[in-house]
Structure 1
């Protein structure tokens, strides 16, 4: 947590908070002394003028203390909020730079919790530290010194009350700290179950598993609730224990102080002043105990945040080039590429080699789990190869920065992803300065122009979160249009025609081949349908991660058993 504070706090503002807090504490410590004088020299002697004079001083000091407290709270609150803002921003930037491996290691639900709840814990503790953690020791030392100078004979009461308070603090902390750490993990669990329920709500309903998912969430919710009740019940014990010890201390002070007053060894004002300082001492211990209870929870949150910020990316990025030419000498080459997922015994791809030039179309086909998506995920470097090299425009992609590499690739994933906004804002993900004419042209190639033109607002038609107000086929076509609007060297379609009917599929592929700009690049298509790949310049047939065949449709139809099997499973004999 100290590392985060060093990096994200503005130390001039922290210094300002400390200075104003020091002023507030000095004002608080001086007021009981004036109260003693007011009672002994004013009230006891009936001196009205003295009472007004000292009362005026007390009002002035109280006002100064109030202003100082306001400035301290302002600096503490603004610094805590700004620190949270900076941490959240850096976590988001860091997560965007992660490869799939890092995201899988940490977990999506855990990353959400770390960005929200964990940062909130840090913010709360920063406010407490700039207020209570500095105020408590200053108040403790100052009030202890003032109590000792006011009447040292009464300080013997602290010999009983302070050890009792320390024992209570130790017991509470020892019980609460492990539970706070457990609480953070249970928040992760609730977030995970709730997120799965939201994203999979249609599947849950389709399989009539509403009750099962409800029980699953109720169990996670119950575990969190029971732990929360337990830990906060333990922490809340501090208040009655503190009240009991404080009242006992006051009784002891009044008992011994009354004897001293009765023997004319002490004045009444000093007793009142000492009782105030004693309360300050005990409240200082209580504030420190509360801080020490919540700091471990914040420390656990800080460790989780640091784990994200300091996690090394498995993909080492190269320096960003100032000169990127997306379509200069477009080429794609796999040079003896092998790949396996982390922890897997068997390779997903093995010794894969081929080369494509500008204007060509590559198709990848094979059974489920053959490695089709893995093959094309290596192009934008979502994973790094185990051996061999993937080259784009003649350069090993490991020597390119991800920014330069992604500038040369337009990618359409298997699952169409749209963002909340408008159709225009989604299209501008592909090209930020795209004109309406360019957007309509991309929509026309993607066979989406007809249904978009009928929407209220046209390009300004609203897109809900995940594009939920569109059908699967419409979402796919919009996602394809977003990729086509980009000037790229390689256009990759990962089974992104699957929701299209055969007629739309054929029209889209024909429009792709007819477009002059796209034909200057390379088109890579992963497909399940034979009809989608027949016109490709080169077809790679994958079978359990190995190349079972490579060639044109006519060549593979005649010579490749795996391709023939796929062909006969989809088409009738006369169609073949």
Structure 2
């Protein structure tokens, strides 16, 4: 029984609202067990009194008593199952809710280190294993030991010498269970780790299925997935083989015990020390011991799985977000001047050996439109991800409205910053639901106003139900350009003071992109940052920032950079010539 109880006990707080159910479930199981222990005695009386004396009335009365015991036991079992299921389900729901909320509090840095796939496994599979462990624990924690101890005591009451056979069986089975447990617990942990790997490979292939097909890599990906699943299969078979020994070994030991009772009992019946009914009762008690020891051993194995999963869940709870918000509230409405200021900022991703951004110094005024351009890997997305504080910088400082970004609460920062990422993400539901992410209290007229600016009105009107039109998972029933326009509209509904477009118009044609930029420039008091690979998208910005290898290598207008920035001129010439 070498599982760490502390992992499970740490999660016991989620049963706080189910104290009554947590107490009643094992108690009703205990009541069921008590009635079950009476059954062999009743059967012994039927054999020794009713059948021996051919007393039909006595047999009928004892038969009615047996039925009554069965009905009471069944009722107790049903009530126990209800309370157990209610407590375990409530426990699992609250655990998953809290775990999911805790994960959402992580910065991008923690999520990058942990990986999405292991987080999904811990919220789903690990939580289910712990919930199942709680359910079975309530049902068997009192019942099985009570019946094993009760059956032994009852057999001792019938004949102390014969009960030694039962005691020997119990000791041997305890040793078998301990040996199997010591071998299987570590393997269960390995199984969960390898399940993470399989789920990671599954997610990677499903999200990248178009690329896989475009490069005809189906066979190699199938081979890699096959290797991962075989690795998981081998560990599952190993632990399954070890666990599978439990039932046959238990049955062999207990049946040998029954054979011993039959042999010794026959001798005792012949010499008159025991009756036939008493021998039958002893065999029934041995069978009860068998069944409950098997159940209890399986409970221990299930608790070992649950403990391994609880440890993985607690590992997530032990992680604290590196981002801690301040107490000030960011308000851009009444502020004039530099909205965003970078002062000698350096930034490195977790576990990276080199900085992604170095010595970044930049000021952006309120109402200004700033374009950011650079080659692949130049640090464009890294730079704009620091503004809503998805990551913390390694050195230097970032100021919003003249105050260090760390002094503001995270909520107030993100309410004032609207970000449209490179990959447009829509969520299952309808168009209205997705747009209301920007402001859940926005009216339909406000939604259409934002859609007009984002050039998304025709997307909405082309659908039969307009705002109530269905959005499939990942927005797969919309084209890339449609998803980008709806994503921009969602951000505009937010009416934030800072709008960041991270290459979010790459799927738009030049005419639509031009109309979008003109419409955004008409919004009053909005500071816009446009990250783009296309010079035409940032050409008319108030200023353009050129990045190369994580450093600013040029700042100015389009004309100024053509004269003074070789890198910008090279990008411009490559696009004009093409």
Q: TM-score, normalising length from structure 2?
A: 0.94
1:359 alignment partner in structure 2 = 367
| Structure 1 residue 541: Cα displacement | 1.5
Match of residue 378, structure 2, among 356, 364, 370: 370
Contact kept? 2:330, 2:408, Cα under 8 Å: no
2:522 alignment partner in structure 1 = 514
Corresponding residue SS for 2:373: strand
Corresponding residue SS for 1:385: coil
Q: Measure, in 1, the Cα distance between the counterparts of 2:11 and 2:162.
A: 41
Deviations 1:485-517 (A, max 9, x none): 1111100111112222222221111111123xx
Match of residue 141, structure 2, among 133, 150, 171: 133
Match of residue 553, structure 2, among 548, 551, 554: 548
1:56 alignment partner in structure 2 = 64
Alignment of 1:248 with 2:256, yes or no, is: yes
| Structure 1 residue 247: Cα displacement | 1.8
Map of 1:52-131 to 2, 5 A cutoff?
52-131=60-139
Moved more, 252-261 or 132-141: 132-141
Deviations 1:237-265 (A, max 9, x none): 32222222222111111111111111111
Moved more, 485-494 or 225-234: 225-234
Match of residue 6, structure 1, among 5, 8, 12: 12
Contact kept? 2:173, 2:253, Cα under 8 Å: yes
Deviations 1:32-51 (A, max 9, x none): 22222232232222333333
Corresponding residue SS for 2:555: strand
| Structure 1 residue 159: Cα displacement | 5.2
Contact kept? 2:152, 2:166, Cα under 8 Å: no
Q: Measure, in 2, the Cα distance between the counterparts of 1:372 and 1:5.
A: 42
Pair 1:5–1:497, CA change in 2 (3 A): closer
1:393 alignment partner in structure 2 = 401
Contact kept? 1:327, 1:408, Cα under 8 Å: no
| Structure 1 residue 408: Cα displacement | 0.7
Corresponding residue SS for 1:539: strand
| Structure 1 residue 572: Cα displacement | 5.0
Alignment of 1:217 with 2:225, yes or no, is: yes
Q: Measure, in 2, the Cα distance between the counterparts of 1:467 and 1:162.
A: 60
Contact kept? 1:412, 1:483, Cα under 8 Å: yes
Q: Measure, in 2, the Cα distance between the counterparts of 1:263 and 1:233.
A: 46
Corresponding residue SS for 1:216: helix
Q: Which consecutive unaligned segments of at least 5 residues does structure 2 have?
A: 1-6
1:471 alignment partner in structure 2 = 479
Deviations 1:87-118 (A, max 9, x none): 11112212221111111222111111111111
Contact kept? 2:29, 2:140, Cα under 8 Å: no
Deviations 1:178-206 (A, max 9, x none): 33222212221221111111101100000
Contact kept? 1:326, 1:407, Cα under 8 Å: no
| Structure 1 residue 302: Cα displacement | 0.8
1:327 alignment partner in structure 2 = 333
Contact kept? 2:425, 2:474, Cα under 8 Å: yes
Corresponding residue SS for 1:352: strand
Q: Measure, in 1, the Cα distance between the counterparts of 2:555 and 2:11.
A: 57
2:207 alignment partner in structure 1 = 199
Corresponding residue SS for 1:571: helix
| Structure 1 residue 4: Cα displacement | 4.4
Contact kept? 2:33, 2:146, Cα under 8 Å: yes
Q: Measure, in 2, the Cα distance between the counterparts of 1:190 and 1:87.
A: 24
1:451 alignment partner in structure 2 = 459
Q: Measure, in 2, the Cα distance between the counterparts of 1:183 and 1:201.
A: 26
1:312 alignment partner in structure 2 = 320
| Structure 1 residue 210: Cα displacement | 0.8
Alignment of 1:533 with 2:538, yes or no, is: yes
Q: Measure, in 2, the Cα distance between the counterparts of 1:407 and 1:70.
A: 51
Alignment of 1:273 with 2:285, yes or no, is: no
| Structure 1 residue 341: Cα displacement | 1.4
Corresponding residue SS for 2:499: strand
Match of residue 290, structure 2, among 282, 285, 289: 282
Q: TM-score, normalising length from structure 1?
A: 0.94
Map of 1:249-264 to 2, 5 A cutoff?
249-264=257-272
Q: Measure, in 1, the Cα distance between the counterparts of 2:359 and 2:9.
A: 45
Q: Measure, in 1, the Cα distance between the counterparts of 2:307 and 2:185.
A: 10
Q: Measure, in 2, the Cα distance between the counterparts of 1:497 and 1:63.
A: 70
| Structure 1 residue 162: Cα displacement | 3.2
Corresponding residue SS for 2:142: helix
Pair 1:345–1:241, CA change in 2 (3 A): closer
Number of matched pairs? 568
Q: Measure, in 2, the Cα distance between the counterparts of 1:188 and 1:169.
A: 28
| Structure 1 residue 292: Cα displacement | 2.2
| Structure 1 residue 61: Cα displacement | 2.5
Contact kept? 1:183, 1:227, Cα under 8 Å: yes
2:570 alignment partner in structure 1 = 565
1:348 alignment partner in structure 2 = 356
Contact kept? 2:8, 2:307, Cα under 8 Å: no
Corresponding residue SS for 1:438: helix
2:3 alignment partner in structure 1 = none
2:4 alignment partner in structure 1 = none
Moved more, 258-267 or 341-350: 341-350
